[in-house]
Amino acid sequence: MSTARPRIAVVGAAAAGLAAAEGLRRLGWDGEITLVGDEPHLPYDRPPLSKQVLSGAWEPERTALRDTAQITGLELDLRLGTRARAYDPARRTLTLDGDGQSDLRCAGVIAATGVTPRVLPGTAGVQGVHVLRTLDDALRLRGRLALPGRRLVVVGSGVLGAEAAAVARTLGHDVALVGTQETPMQRVLGAEVGGLLAEAHRAHGVSLHTGRAVTGITERSGRVSGVVLADGTVVEADDVLVAIGSVPAVDWLRGPGAGAAGLDLSDGLGCDEFCAAAPGLYGAGDVARWYHPVLRRHLRIEHRMNASEQGLAAARNLLAELDPERFGERRPFTPVPYFWSDQYSLKLQAYGVLADAERVQVLRLDKDPLRLAALYGTSDHATGALAIGLPPRQARSLRALVATPSPWPEAAARLAAAVEG
């Protein structure tokens, strides 16, 4: 008779995966925990990659989420530099690449594989074309920016692209920011606040090419020399950073058993309010799209705070499914989403859901156009709030405005009282 301890596998060794593994131990799971990561590094923090690491202010060691002793204390079966190849939900069997014991029987699995960057077609193998997702990506681009007088074109004007452009310009390089939207971060911030952010980038010397699509690149001797815009304009470059979004890393879940298990992989791993995608399979972090019962909509959030919170929630609910008498009932995952972005001296902090808002109301707080607060939401209800240039206490006070969708007049009055009081 086998005496093997039951196993939970956490696939993905970044913030969400680490939070799940720590949560399992903290909550009392004494079986095996296999933590699988496709990178060779111990879990590290990703937000500093586009800021402190890229600028050279931090060395890679500073991004570590835990030191070696703390990881050892979790008693993990740690599989770094290893990819998950397949998962059979019916048999609860996880197949790993690059491992002699590749088929693992699991009591449960937490999927925390994150996302993979989109790339520009036709750029494979061309030197000087970068993405920025991993520590190694950041160090490669940092090495190029350590040289004086670089010409960097950033393709994509979302959060990542805007942050990287600000870092490169602060380092003294010639920076062009290209995006299909009319302003940086427009989908999240809206046209008015995005326009103010555009002016901040221009004031720092960034060349903006807004409302422009990139149709190709130019190259010289196998190295990128520029990007071609839809109108034929060529923007010259020594290096190009592609920041045009990402794709949820769910290919390992597309096996024959996915359909039978009812897995929804249309935009990440579809989960219910408990972060469950199927019996014994839970999602956490950037890869998970789950139903938020308070906001009454499905969300997939690519932000650091959500990753850690959801990793713990997935761990708790998986344990409750496996042994409800010991671990109690499952709990819906109902966070107030939060993200921040640092660009030049600006700190943007947002609570709730801002993206694709039907209505935006901006409250300017003084003569500085980038000291403001704003509400976002539907025509009737506020679902998100933004602070730029506010003291920490005032910025944090906006969270309560959108903890649940509030009628617009009530939320607007509370916003004014919070920032003017």
Domain that holds residue 169: 119-244
Query: Does residue 257 share a domain with residue 109?
Result: yes
* 64 located within any domain: yes
Q: State mean pLDDT over 300-324.
A: 97
- The distance of Cα 71 from the centroid of its chain, to the nearest Å, equals 23
* 158 located within any domain: yes
Query: Does residue 199 share a domain with residue 112?
Result: no
Taking all residues of the chain, what is their mean pLDDT, rounded to a whole number? 94
Per-residue tokens: 3:
């005496």
Query: Does residue 233 share a domain with residue 143?
Result: yes
Query: Does residue 383 share a domain with residue 271?
Result: no
Query: Does residue 240 share a domain with residue 128?
Result: yes
* 365 located within any domain: yes
Q: Are 188 and 178 in contact (CB under 8 A)?
A: no
Percent of the chain residues topping a pLDDT of 70: 98
Query: Does residue 143 share a domain with residue 230?
Result: yes
* 333 located within any domain: no
Per-residue tokens: 191:
């046209």
With cut-offs at 50, 70 and 90, classify the pLDDT of residue 380. very high
Q: 175: Cβ–Cβ under 8 A, 6 or more apart, which residues?
A: 152, 153, 154, 165, 168, 169, 205, 206, 207
State the pLDDT at residue 267: 96
Partners of residue 95 on adjacent β-strands: 86, 103
Q: State mean pLDDT over 373-399.
A: 93
State the pLDDT at residue 102: 73
* 335 located within any domain: no
Could you say which of 298, 327, 356 is where a domain stops? 327
State the pLDDT at residue 2: 47
Q: Which of 154, 144, 167, 160 is nearest to 53 (CA)?
A: 167
Query: Does residue 315 share a domain with residue 211?
Result: no
pLDDT digits (tens, 9 = 90+) for 406-418: 899 999 999 998 8
Distance between CA atoms of residues 118 and 181, nearest Å: 17
- Position 310 pLDDT exceeds 70: yes
Query: Does residue 285 share a domain with residue 222?
Result: no
State the pLDDT at residue 383: 94
Percent of the chain residues topping a pLDDT of 90: 89
* 275 located within any domain: yes
The CATH number of the domain holding residue 181 is 3.50.50.60
Q: Which residue has the tokens 């770094």?
A: 80
With cut-offs at 50, 70 and 90, classify the pLDDT of residue 255. confident
The CATH number of the domain holding residue 390 is 3.30.390.30
State the pLDDT at residue 1: 38
- Position 259 pLDDT exceeds 80: no
Could you say which of 244, 261, 281 is where a domain stops? 244
pLDDT digits (tens, 9 = 90+) for 85-138: 999 999 999 999 965 557 999 999 999 999 999 999 999 999 999 999 999 999
Q: State mean pLDDT over 10-27.
A: 98
Per-residue tokens: 182:
């009319």
* 183 located within any domain: yes
pLDDT digits (tens, 9 = 90+) for 140-172: 999 999 999 999 999 999 999 999 999 999 999
* 395 located within any domain: yes
Query: Does residue 186 share a domain with residue 137?
Result: yes
Q: 357: Cβ–Cβ under 8 A, 6 or more apart, which residues?
A: 190, 376, 377, 378, 383, 384
Query: Does residue 174 share a domain with residue 260?
Result: no
Number of domains forming the structure of the chain: 3
Q: Where are the alpha helices (DSSP H) in 154-185?
A: 159-170
Q: How many CB atoms lie within 10 A of CB 33?
A: 23
State the pLDDT at residue 100: 54
Query: Does residue 256 share a domain with residue 219?
Result: no
Query: Does residue 265 share a domain with residue 167?
Result: no
Could you say which of 219, 244, 269 is where a domain stops? 244
Distance between CA atoms of residues 166 and 202, nearest Å: 10
Q: State mean pLDDT over 400-405.
A: 89
pTM of the model: 0.95
Query: Higher confidence at residue 367 or residue 95?
Result: 95
Query: Higher confidence at residue 343 or residue 366?
Result: 343
With cut-offs at 50, 70 and 90, classify the pLDDT of residue 27. very high
Q: How many CB atoms lie within 10 A of CB 260?
A: 12
